[in-house]
Structure 1
């Protein structure tokens, strides 16, 4: 038999002729164990004694904050001054025209006169003619009528540009315009 290590100490209990050594645990394991106990106490105090928000509450707060920012941004854009700025900005209207021609013209016509989709140049609107309602229609689409939701595809900046272009089409009277549909706005 080989010589035993000095650290090996035989425990006094022997079961079925099997001897058991009493070796110390590795230092890294002892440190990890002690740190986990310290972490448990800190966790207990932080979340249960001080009542700090947990992950679910933090996620809910973050989502609420994001929704507030989005609604503030939307309301700022849709205020009279914000809308006037967008509609009067020739770059935004030009950008919107390019996006409109690429995505909307097959249904609404190249000049907004309406083909499969409704006429966008008159004062009659099926799903509402206020800037908020038009924005909502472009963003969310009208699946029942075959219009897809463009919001996830184009994003807010391009949607605003398309909105600026569509609002600039009002009273443009293109040739072969489709008959009025919806309510007057």
Structure 2
């Protein structure tokens, strides 16, 4: 984890255990402060599946409910994956990182969705993996969120549903 970011998190009241944010203390007080203060919260309920390879865009276009073939690098969009009967199995926030796609979804659905998605790869030049120890998702919100990210040495996305990469964070 980026040293500046770790320092910022600790200054914000984060309790860090083995380089992962465990919590930020009093949840009730954080909820009351949310409308007027900068809020930093671990989003441990979310996980990420990475889809890469030469045919990743085509594969996802055929599997998901939204067109990912036109998704620009650094852009994000909402999508879902449905069964053959049209029942939604999972909803995602899909964002593109170079030639790879990240599917952010509920962490409790991740193992089952990962396994089922891998069943449809067949001969496609696609890799579908989870990196559970490689990243931790943290949300930053509030009227001074941009300042907090700048103070931590992190880039700020330019618009809604966009993302930026930094050396130690995505």
> What is the TM-score of this pair, normalised by structure 2?
0.21
Higher helix share: 1
The structure whose Rg is larger is 1
> What is the TM-score of this pair, normalised by structure 1?
0.20
Higher strand share: 2
Larger RCO (CA within 8 A; separation ≥ 6): 2
